[in-house]
């Protein structure tokens, strides 16, 4: 039932994450350094986002004896929201090397700020597959709502986890009305959105700062 759906928010509290975020915010950071620091920060954020992945017990033999171990219960699915989410993918793949990769391309209309899909490559069914959505910026929440609803429609178990660098209060409030059970993991909740729906103080356009302007 929609009334039972919740949005949980976890703010990552870690000095490495805080330092990397400071470098990402700096307007003088080059594209190359921005990509490196986004990967560094993503390692911490995705580690926290994957904290509650279901596991099963297993046995393993060391060079000296047999002992108990843990394995992931199923392969998770990493879902970068193009194009900015691609910068978080290498770190996520390093932490979860057996994960499947699905991609969702959603672009925001610069006038209306509404999302529109231009690509979606997803498994036909996601039942029992824990999904971690990667998007550095939770601004209005429109693109992330769109992507998460695509996953939910294919049977992805909830809560669906969103790993991001920054979140705006307006975006969190928007997702709270989405009718989905979500867990947002972010390095910071910033002050607000400006009139152009950019996060303030933010870090600018995460896609442009990684890859350069699109034209």
Q: d(Cα 17, Cα 196) in Å, to the nearest integer?
A: 27
- Cα-based distances in Å from 165 to 2, 37, 144, 204: 27, 11, 13, 12
Q: Are strands 55-61 and 66-72 parallel, antiparallel or unpaired?
A: antiparallel
CA 23 to chain centre: 19
Distance CA 214, CA 210 (A): 11
Active site residues per annotation: 108, 112, 205, 208
The DSSP output letter for 177 is T
Residue 187 and residue 22: Cα distance in Å, rounded? 11
Exposed/middle/buried for 133, CB within 10 Å: 0-12, 13-18, 19+? buried
Helix axes 31-49, 15-25, angle to 10 degrees: 150
d(CA 8, CA 185): 8
Nearest 10 degrees: Cα torsion 209, 210, 212, 215: -100
């Amino acid at each position: 039932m929609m009334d039972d759906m919740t949005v949980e928010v976890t703010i990552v509290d870690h000095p490495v994450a805080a330092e990397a975020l400071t470098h990402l915010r700096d307007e003088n950071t080059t594209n190359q350094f921005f990509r490196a620091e986004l990967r560094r920060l993503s390692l911490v954020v995705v580690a926290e986002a994957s904290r509650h992945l279901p596991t099963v017990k297993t046995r393993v033999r060391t060079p000296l004896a047999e002992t108990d171990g843990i394995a992931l219960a199923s392969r998770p699915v990493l879902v970068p929201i193009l194009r900015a989410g691609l910068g978080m993918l290498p770190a996520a793949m390093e932490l979860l090397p057996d994960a499947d990769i699905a991609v969702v391309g959603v672009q925001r209309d610069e006038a209306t700020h509404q999302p529109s899909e231009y690509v979606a490559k997803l498994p036909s069914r996601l039942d029992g597959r824990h999904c971690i959505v990667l998007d550095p910026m939770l601004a209005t929440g429109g693109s992330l709502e769109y992507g998460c609803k695509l996953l939910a429609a294919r049977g992805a178990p909830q809560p669906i986890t969103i790993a991001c660098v920054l979140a705006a209060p307006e975006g969190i409030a928007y997702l709270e009305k989405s009718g989905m059970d979500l867990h947002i993991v972010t390095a910071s909740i910033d002050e607000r959105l400006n009139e152009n729906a950019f996060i303030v103080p933010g870090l600018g356009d995460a896609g442009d700062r990684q890859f350069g302007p699109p034209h």
